Structure 1
Amino acid sequence: MTLVSRWLVHLRHLRELALTHWLAAFCLAALAFGVQAIPTASTPKQPAEAHWVASWAVAPLDFREMAASPSGPSYSLPGGNDLRGQTLRQQLELSLDGERIRIRFSNRFGKTPLRIAAASAARGTGADAFSPASLRMLRFGGRTSLTIAPGADAWSDGVDLPVQAGQTVVVSAFFDRATPFSTVSMPESGTTWVAAGNAVTAAKLKNPTPMVLNQIMTGLDVLTTKPVRTVVAFGDSITAGTSEGTFGAYPDMLATRLRDTQPAGQDIAVLNAGIGGNRLLTDGIGPSGLSRFELDALRQSGVTHAIVLMGTNDIGRTVFARVPGAELTPRDWPTAERLTEGLQQLIKQARAKGVKVLLGTVPPFKNTPYWNGANEALREAVNRWIRGRQDVDGVIDFDAALRDPADPQALNPLFDSGDHLHPNKAGHAAMAAAVDLRELME
């Protein structure tokens, strides 16, 4: 072998040895850093991670508080306030599409364990009826029944059921043990019936009795891989809508507006967490806004934005503060400073969760029992503070949208439901139109 030949063979051995060392080093690095494979042009793109997002939700109430009101007896069923031996059925109207759903059941205000013996979900076809082909039996950790401890909520397992925004899902639950009314929600949040026996698989209930209050069911999530913005409208009856649903609610109209205007692939859910008569600072009809904001807004699945409109009932309460038995202590008196401090606390809570906040100004209420000169001054002071906020993600001037141009302290007659406090359907449409949609896309 010539000297040149020996040199070429030696060079080849050196290259092979270097390549061997390089491959060994790469494999060690791959093991150290958890490398699975080298990406190539032919490697398929992995789908986005599926996650649960709220498509429908309500703010629950304690039935005992509702029953203690002057209209309490109207909340009772002929057989008493016990669901034992009966099937409860409720319509839920969705704000998001999905292929898979789960249902939240609540015993938040219950004093005893809540047992659901059987439950189902299906696509609604009107009133209490559903499509038999869409019926899905619900399970809970693989079981057909569920017991929820007092003060707790529980989700069903996910079930495959394709649904679309604006569509209704009918959820049914049968109770085989004593089930006193405890955790309820206001009637504008859905439509509910009760019927004798286990009818969770019946496409239509036999001799159903309509219920004035909704019961136990407080949320429906859809599973999605899309990036969804979830907006919680948080407030009192001006957010919730009227008790009969006659005048609608601005969150529903906002959801429709978003569906009609947003480009394909930009899904936004709007949830209504309003409670009629609710106050920001103190308990009354429902827990105070300060105490329920975490549960009713910030813990909704996938929440990204909160629209806060509160203060009307706090301000109006001062009119009745000196009625015997209803006196307010100095600590409870709703001053502008206390109201704005309360709103600031909500902002702080949301910021800590990474949720964006849009504050709504308090609408006018002249010519109502709530109104007097001092209360008007208080409302205007709170609104000045809201309009001047630089630490929120947006301000929605509901006051400007609803007030009478000829008398800015009063509701526009075109938007007045008749009580000079609650907007009518046109008023709720004006509220929905006052929301800058760009602020919900950020």
Structure 2
Amino acid sequence: MGASLLALTAALAASGSGSAAAASDSAAASGSAARPAAAWSAGWAAPVQRPSEGFEDNWSLKGFADQTVRQVVRVTGGGTAARIRLSNRYGAEPLRIAGATIARSAGGAAVEGGSLRRLTFGHRGAVTIPAGGETASDAAPVRVAPFESLTVTLYFAEPTGPATFHAQAYATSYRAEGDHGADRTGGAFTETTHSWYYLSDVELSGGTGRRGSVVAFGDSITDGFGSSYDGNKRWPDRLAERLAAAGTPRPVLNSGIGGNLLLHDSPWYGDRAGARFGRDVLDKPGVRSVILLQGLNDIGFSEVDLPTYKPNPQVSAEQVIAGYRDLIARAHARGVRVVGATILPFKGAEYHTARSEAKRAAINEWIRTSGEFDAVVDFAEVMASPSDPLALDPAYDSGDHKHPNDAGYRRMAEAIDLDAL
């Protein structure tokens, strides 16, 4: 076992993971545990998108009716109480949540029985979220350690219509017919998908030694395309593990959306970066720094005429740089540090051309030399093939010549200077 993994294991043990957390749940449920702290910290987040079929099959367009959806998320913080945020941002009608629970995961769709809590909203077991709105649950007393997985289970008694969701979760979500929110086993959950629905945040309170959150903001490379399903091996996951192993644990939130554009909204790939930067970065609890990795799709989509690669106007390097400058100014106005990340090599990918390569080179040179970021991580350099700097290192290539594999995402996390955060 390597030194970093040993340190991570020790950090998790000290945080009260596993049996220690389970032993305290009965006290928390009975009210004898300390009252949750008023301050909330980010534990997990995912940016929401319009219902669509952009990648693999999902349930967003049809929505749900008399069905229960159980979703599994791994938090990068810890605490003694949790609450969730649900979004109906892209719903055309009010959304009725007939019941909701939260629990520690026992693997698959099963939960640890002693940790199961019914969630309330304003002390009521059901809630209606208006079209375009969101809501937060009340605090639920459930202990969770960093890097533990929670299940959030939602029951929809009435037809929801198309569902606000996050398309590329790289994690399995489960569906059952009828109301199974209180089930401890996963037997009823016979259908699966790789997306998250309505769930945008899990927030925690009651933890100790909190530091400011880090937000990873970008497109599919941040979202984790090419990583192992249910493996939590995206580069933001790896970065959170590095921080914990170094003795400086901090929540790391993944605000990547596959296919996302810096300058244009997409019906498949989310609102443009500038439109979602406030809610997906600046408004997160305790955010102190953001790592920006954007622009690949802006310079690439225009080179290929595919139905989902829309809008795809020709975008100049100068326009991408102007988009970055806007985000930097907005972050600095809120006291948030900005780490600029260079765009990875993508020679051999479907939209690599001499024109898109020239734009990448110009943007990366500006990121490295402009001095406008608080720090820079040169992903392009560390991920390049030793024999061809325009191509992704084959050892890190998931197979499409633009997205890393698990080893590549680990290398990206290793390239980040932790002091820069």
- What's the TM-score once normalised by structure 1's chain length? 0.82
Counting matched residue pairs gives 380
CA distance in structure 2 between the aligned counterparts of 1:189 and 1:419, rounded to whole angstroms:
17
Does residue 220 (structure 1) correspond to residue 205 (structure 2)? The answer is no
Does residue 59 (structure 1) correspond to residue 40 (structure 2)? The answer is no
- Residue 181 of structure 1: CA displacement? 2.9
The answer for unaligned runs of 5 or more in structure 1 is: 1-47
- Residue 424 of structure 1: CA displacement? 1.1
2:243 to 243, 255, 258: 258
1:379 alignment counterpart: 360
CA distance in structure 2 between the aligned counterparts of 1:344 and 1:327, rounded to whole angstroms:
22
Change (3 A) 1:391 1:82: closer
1:199 alignment counterpart: 180
Amino acid at match of 1:341: A
Conserved 8 A contact 1:187-1:244? no
1:161 alignment counterpart: 142
2:335 alignment counterpart: 354
SS at match of 1:160: coil
Amino acid at match of 1:220: V
Change (3 A) 1:198 1:424: same
Change (3 A) 1:410 1:298: same
1:175 alignment counterpart: 156
Conserved 8 A contact 1:188-1:244? no
Amino acid at match of 2:236: P
Conserved 8 A contact 2:289-2:339? yes
CA distance in structure 2 between the aligned counterparts of 1:130 and 1:312, rounded to whole angstroms:
39
SS at match of 1:316: helix
Change (3 A) 1:144 1:49: closer
Amino acid at match of 2:259: G
Conserved 8 A contact 2:95-2:128? yes
Conserved 8 A contact 2:169-2:194? no
Conserved 8 A contact 2:168-2:258? no
CA distance in structure 1 between the aligned counterparts of 2:63 and 2:393, rounded to whole angstroms:
44
Conserved 8 A contact 1:75-1:213? yes
Give matches, 1:258-337, under 5 Å: 258-262=243-247, 266-284=248-266, 285-320=269-304, 332-337=313-318
- Residue 126 of structure 1: CA displacement? 0.3
- Residue 49 of structure 1: CA displacement? 7.1
**Identical-residue share of aligned pairs (%):** 36
Conserved 8 A contact 1:321-1:327? no
Measured against aligned partners, the alpha-carbon deviations of 1:193-226 in whole angstroms (never above 9, x if no partner) come to 1101111111023142112322111110111464
1:239 to 186, 211, 222: 222
SS at match of 1:193: strand
Deviates more, 1:242-251 or 1:429-438: 242-251
Over aligned residue pairs, what C-alpha RMSD do you find?
A: 2.3
SS at match of 2:399: coil
- Residue 75 of structure 1: CA displacement? 2.3
Conserved 8 A contact 1:365-1:411? yes
Measured against aligned partners, the alpha-carbon deviations of 1:219-247 in whole angstroms (never above 9, x if no partner) come to 10111464422011011111111266358
Does residue 120 (structure 1) correspond to residue 101 (structure 2)? The answer is yes
CA distance in structure 2 between the aligned counterparts of 1:245 and 1:56, rounded to whole angstroms:
19
Change (3 A) 1:377 1:173: same
